[in-house]
Each structure stands twice: as C-alpha cells, then as structure tokens.
A and B are shown apart, each in its own frame.
Chain A
Amino acid sequence: MKKFIVSPAPHIHSEFETRKLMRDVLIALTPSLLVSIYFFGFSAIKLVLIGAGACVLVEYLIQKYLLHSKITINDYSAAVTGVLLALNLPPNSPWWLILIGSIVAIGVAKMTFGGLGQNVFNPALVGRVFLLISFPVLMTDWTIPESWFRPGVDAITGPTPLSIVKEGLASGLSMGEIFQQNNFSWGEMLFIKMGGSVGEISALALILGFIYLLIKRVIRPHIPVAIVLTIVVLTSIFHLISPEQFTGPMFNILTGGVLLGSIFMATDYVTSPMNPVGMVIYGVGIGLITVLIRYFGAYPEGISFAILIMNSVVPLINKACKPKRFAKEVK
C-alpha cells in the first residue's frame, strides 16, 4: 500500500526559506554592485568574486576537514558575508587582502562560534575591522570614482571625504575651507561619486536595495531608520552648536558607510535584536557610537566599530525587550 505522510499541523509552509532570504540580500546588493563595476571596472568584480568564493571555500573546508559536519554552503550565508566584505573594502585592494579578510570572517567570526546562527559578531565586519587594524594604510587608500570603465591599475587614489575633513580640521583648516578646497557636492554624494569602499559609491543604489529588502519582507525598517535618525539628530545638534568644528547631518549620512552599514550590516539577523523595541535601542546605540567616534575618536568612520560594539549587547537587549504579549494579565 502507498505510504501517506502523517505529521502534526500546520500542514503547509510559507514561501520563506533562509536561503531565499540570503539570496534576496544578494539581489538587494546588485544595484550597488553595478554602480561599483561601472566606476571601478574589473577591480570591483575581482574583489566580489574573490570575497564570495573565499568565504564559501573556507566554510566548506572547515566543515569538511575540521568539523566533519554537514556542509551548509548552499544556504548562501557565506556568500553574503563574502560580498559584504568586498563591498566594505577600498576598490583597489589587492587580492590577498580580501582573502585574509574572508578567512578571518568565516573562520574566526563565524565557524568558531558554531556556524550559521551562532556567532555573536557580524562576520563581514570582524573581517573588515581585522584588516583595518592590521593593514591601516591599504584600508584607507580609496580610489576616487571618476572616469568610467577602466582597469583599476592607474586609478587615482585618495582619502574619503570623512578623513579629508578629519585631517583638515586637525591641521587647523576651517570647515568652510575644507569644503571649498575639496569641492564636495551633495548631488555627487547622493548619486555617484562618493569616495569610499566598493559598495558605498551611490547612496541611491543602496536605498534601492533597502526598498527591495522591505518589499520582500527580508528585514524590518526599524534598525536602519533608528541609526540614520540618531545620526541626523546628533550631528544636527553638534553642527548647530559649532558648524566650524562638526560636520553636518547630510554629510555624515552620505559618507563613511553609514547607509551600507545600517541597511546591510546592522540588520544581519544573527547579530541584531529580534523585537521592535530592541531593534530601535540597538539602532540608536549604533548611531550614537558612530557619531562619538567620528567627532571625538581616532577613526574617521566609526560605524563598523559601532555595530560590533552593539552586537555584543544584543543578547541582553533580547532579554530586556520582550514583544508585546497578547494577554495583559494572568487570570
């Protein structure tokens, strides 16, 4: 007789699937990726391919030869880490830089904790920060996106707007002079020419990805919105008090990976809070730490550190912020 399935309810399942959600993150990153390829050509493609390939390979090798566990590379999560790492590096990074970053991201930050879902810190950010501390010169030498499709060899390199400002202020220039000398334009920052890592050239492309993630219900808006609003509010206050000393809100949102970080890194499921109130607290914390680092710290950008610091308190936030229960009282 034919065998029938017998199992408890529910008997149907939604369309959600972890690998599809991960794949949606990759799709959401495509606009940014295309913009980088447009401006940096082969070097952008190279970094993304090496990053994704290396992360997947490292996970495979560890699972096969070290842990002798089930191979789970087909869940796309390692690929997402690799692509995010690539998008967080300077476009002219050498191939070995991202290889080292990938090994740290997957090998140290993810697999040592037990693989998918078990890590405390965002793997791609651990990889990035490791590189930032170990290779500070390479990690802050940014290609200026100027001419279109060309091999990355003779690209013009220079610092990001944030470090220009930080160094300018340190050398005694006024904010007005710095902006004048460097010819910063809001239009360029918004659409295309934001000097910075591979993935943050176009704010518009990142926002497009954000909208896609919201429509596909991959993420909820709380975290990115909380981060951006916190940065806007804090920098507005500082900027109003002393415009010569502190950069304004628009400048801070559009530079230094705030959008890439808040949309794609801070929303990583595993390392972010699970309840709406917690998400907001986490986002506000990231925004606050970012602004403090930028204004008073040694690093010009700060969001990577801010996210990693807030990652460490996520379990506490989850404990403290419970969802609204249906029943208010017990009979």
Chain B
Amino acid sequence: MLKTFHIGGVHPNDNKITADAPIEVFPILDKVYISMAQHLGAPATPVVAKGDKVKVGDVIGEPAGFISGYVHASVSGTVTAVEPMKDLAGKLVMHVVIAVEGDEWRPEIDRSSDIVRDIKLSKEEILDKIKLSGIVGLGGATFPTHVKLSPPPGKKAEFLILNGAECEPYVTADDRIMREQSEQIFIGGKIMLKALGIERGFVGIEENKKAAIAQMKETGKKYPELEVIILKKKYPQGGEKQLIEAITGRRVPSLGLPIDVGVVVQNVGTALAVYEAIQKNKPLVESVVTVTGQCISQQRNLSLRVGTSFSQILDAIGGIPKDAAKFISGGPMMGKAVSNIDASVLKGTSAFLMLTEEQTKRKEEINCVRCAKCIEACPMGLEPWLLNKLSRARRYDDLEKEKIYDCIECGCCLYTCPSNIPLLDIIRISKAEVTRIMRSRPKK
C-alpha cells in the first residue's frame, strides 16, 4: 500500500502537461529585476549602487536579520537602478536592476556538469556556505535553509525528508529535476544529513511521477541513507505536516514545527541548490519554472535567471495568450495571483500558470447547505464551514477553541465547497487576527 496522510485531502485533476518536456535554458535577456525579498523574513539590504559592475554570483544583498538571506547577481553587467519596484501583488519592494553585459561568472563557480560526490566540508562550514549562497526553501515558503538546518537548542533532528511530492496540479519543475539531476539531489540530501548530524532520510514522491520515481530509485541504490518512498496522489501530500505523517506516522503538534517531532523537511529543489552551493560554489541564481496552462501553445519547463520578469517570459512565448484571464505564480491550489506582470521571478518561483476565465472564475456564492464536504476535505481535521460562520460573527474566542491556527491554507475547503463559499479567504483573515490576539497575550 502506498503511504499517504490520513485526514481529508482532495483529488484535483493533476494536469501535469509539461511532465515530459525537458528543462530548457531560457536565454539571458537585456535586463533583470532582482527583488530583495527572495525569502521569508526581512528583505535583504542592497549592497550595490547604481553604476556598479557585477559578475554572476556577486553578492548584491545582505541579510537584514536572523530570518533573512543573501541575494546574488544572476547576470553580469551594470547595476542601473536600486529602487523600490512593485512585486507580483503590486507591493513595493526594493529591487536591484542589472543591465546585462555578456555572461561572466565569478571564477570560483564550477559550471561544468561533472558530478562532485565527495563531501569535504564540515558541518559548520556547510551551514555557513548554505547561508552565504542565499539558499531558501524552494517548496513554496522560501524559508532560509540554513536556519531550518540548525535546530534550536534542546531539539534534535532524527530524520530528513526530501519533499518531491509536488502535489500541486500543473507544476512539473521538481519532477523534471528528479529525472534530470537525480544524483545531485541525493548528494544535496547527504550534505544536509551531514549538516544535521544524522544518518537517515527519505525522499517522498507522489505516485503520478513514474519516470521520476524510477530514476530516483535507480540512483538511490548508491545512497541507501535516503530511502525513496512512493506516496499516494492526493492533495496536499506535499504539505509539510501531511508529508511527515505519511512517511513517519508522526503528527506535528498544533503551533509546532516539524523539528518538534524530530523531522526536517526540505524540497528536492533545495537539495539540488545545496549540492550546487557546496560542491560547485554556485549560489542560488537560477530557478526552474514550469510555464503552463491549456491556453498557451508553448508549455515548457524553463531554467531561468532569478530576476527575469513574467512579461519577458510572455514575450518569449509569443505574447499574452488570447484566452488567459489569470496569471499565477506557483500552482493553482496555493500559488499567488499575479496582478503585475512586470514583476520578476524569485528563487522560489516554481511555475508561471495561466488559466482561462472558464477554468478559474469563481461561481456565485449560495447558502451553506451543511453538506460537510469541507470537513471531509480538510487535511487538518477542522470544520471550515463553522470557522466561516464564526469568522463572519467575529467570534475570535470560539475560533481559537476550534483551532483555526491549525489551518495550513491549502485551499481544499474552498476548492471543494459546492456552494462556492469563499471559505479560505475568510478563514485566512480571521486566522491572522486570532494569531495576533494569541501573540499579544503575556507569556506564562
């Protein structure tokens, strides 16, 4: 029997249209717009000024706090502006704009395709280098990787889980890297095991990625410390808490972190980035992005430089598709709607999805009929209909009792609701309010 999580979940059509399209290197264009908010936490502080010459791999932003990260130049050329620009949602964020001149990389970066298997660095050196290479979690949350690999005092990791579930429909970036660079992923995983000082890990892959599973199992023979686990196709199989339960049977407590049950989860893309940073001295300056949606003719997987704008990608695929009505950065279940197509690709961007009005339009909301489908769908065992009702009445005390803070915002409730009630929209707002109230309480 395939492993899976045990509460809730939905089965959207997976639409992995680009699964068989190899990763293509996207040409370097005239300009890149690199955001300083590439990671969760405080945006980086720019350390270059207009007119500076940079090479690929040069640091252009430094961390502005504990939860923050380095940002590197993804192209070589001249900095033409350091200024606030709109991100994909229209929020102003500091950006560094670089006009491209050639493609000159820092000399220490090894760009050959030779696989370096020997891990020479010590635990501390690894963590330090991961930090200096600006590596963030590429599974969606973009949490700085070195922080996640340094468990807080008193907490001990037992297992590492590499997340190759890729349960979001449409997205095939992880599928492709597992097929094309499986050994690098395993070495990246081994490096992370070393950084954590542990011996054992797993790679979880959803059953719908047959070729990736075959490739990873084959390569995995050489890496017995990382066991490949095939998971049932069910959304949100790649959710951190769900993945941990599926593979280890452990459940992360409310308001807790994976480390509370002795687990560290890292995306397979992050493992690849760690490999490149440690073994090839290459900071995180590229991103594999699935460009997809039934309305576009040229659906593909692209490897592109961080800072390439969505509009530049659109130009390259022949302009805005006629029927496109919604642009999404990421998958259709948890991705963000793009309101500003001049915004740029971040380290953590996994897909650029275009949906037609027919595919994405929300239907008219009608009364809740208590069909309980949201309860059946919620992977955290919550009652979305009730959270919606309590939220509309602003009953925050009751919402806290109903554990609204457990919500992982996976969207199963809204996806499933036959009455088209915007359950998650409303839950998200009151969840933020409840967590704020909880934080404001004096600590015991």
A220 to B376, CA, bound (A): 10
**Distance (whole angstroms) from the CB of B334 to the closest CB of chain A:** 5
Any B CB within 8 A of the CB of A326: yes
Any B CB within 8 A of the CB of A323: yes
Q: Are B334 and A274 neighbours in the complex by a CB distance under 8 Å?
A: no
Q: Are B370 and A326 neighbours in the complex by a CB distance under 8 Å?
A: no
A274 to B339, CA, bound (A): 38
B-to-A contact residues, CB < 8 Å: 7, 10, 12, 169, 241, 245, 251-256, 260, 320, 324-328, 330, 332-339, 353, 355, 357, 359-363, 366-373, 375-376, 378-383, 385, 403, 406, 409, 411, 414-420, 424-425, 428
Q: Are A21 and B418 neighbours in the complex by a CB distance under 8 Å?
A: yes
What would 11 more interface pairs be, CB under 8 Å, given A12-B12, A116-B367, A327-B253?
A6-B338, A8-B428, A10-B334, A14-B418, A16-B416, A118-B367, A269-B370, A275-B375, A323-B7, A326-B245, A326-B379
Any B CB within 8 A of the CB of A64: no
**Given A322-B383, A327-B254, are A14 and B337 neighbors across the interface (CB < 8 Å)?**
no
**Distance (whole angstroms) from the CB of A275 to the closest CB of chain B:** 6
Q: Are B416 and A2 neighbours in the complex by a CB distance under 8 Å?
A: no
**Which residues 314-331 of A sit at the B interface, judged by CB distance below 8 A?**
322-331
Any B CB within 8 A of the CB of A18: yes
Any B CB within 8 A of the CB of A241: no
A20 to B369, CA, bound (A): 13
Per a CB cutoff under 8 Å, which of A6, A270, A323, A327 touches B370?
A: A270
A16 to B256, CA, bound (A): 33
Q: Which A residue's beta carbon lies closest to that of B337?
A: A6
Q: Are B253 and A9 neighbours in the complex by a CB distance under 8 Å?
A: no
CB contacts (< 8 Å) of A13 on chain B: these are 362-363, 414-415, 420
Scan A289-300; emit 1 where CB is below 8 A from any B CB, else 0. Answer: 000000000000
CB contacts (< 8 Å) of A21 on chain B: these are 371, 418
Q: Are A5 and B372 neighbours in the complex by a CB distance under 8 Å?
A: no
CB contacts (< 8 Å) of A14 on chain B: these are 10, 12, 415-416, 418
CB contacts (< 8 Å) of A12 on chain B: these are 12, 169, 332-333, 355, 359-360, 415
**Which residues 95-127 of A sit at the B interface, judged by CB distance below 8 A?**
115-118
Per a CB cutoff under 8 Å, which of B320, B339, B385, B418 touches A17?
A: B418
CB contacts (< 8 Å) of A68 on chain B: these are none
Scan A1-43; emit 1 where CB is below 8 A from any B CB, else 0. Answer: 0101111111111101110110000000000000000000000
Q: Which A residue's beta carbon lies closest to that of B335?
A: A9
**Distance (whole angstroms) from the CB of A11 to the closest CB of chain B:** 4
**Distance (whole angstroms) from the CB of A227 to the closest CB of chain B:** 18
Q: Are B325 and A4 neighbours in the complex by a CB distance under 8 Å?
A: yes
Q: Which B residue's beta carbon lies closest to that of A279?
A: B372
Q: Are A326 and B381 neighbours in the complex by a CB distance under 8 Å?
A: yes
24 A-B residue pairings within 8 Å (CB atoms): A5-B360, A6-B326, A6-B337, A7-B337, A7-B362, A8-B424, A8-B428, A9-B330, A9-B411, A10-B414, A10-B424, A12-B12, A12-B169, A12-B355, A13-B415, A18-B419, A117-B369, A274-B385, A323-B7, A323-B381, A325-B406, A326-B241, A327-B252, A327-B406
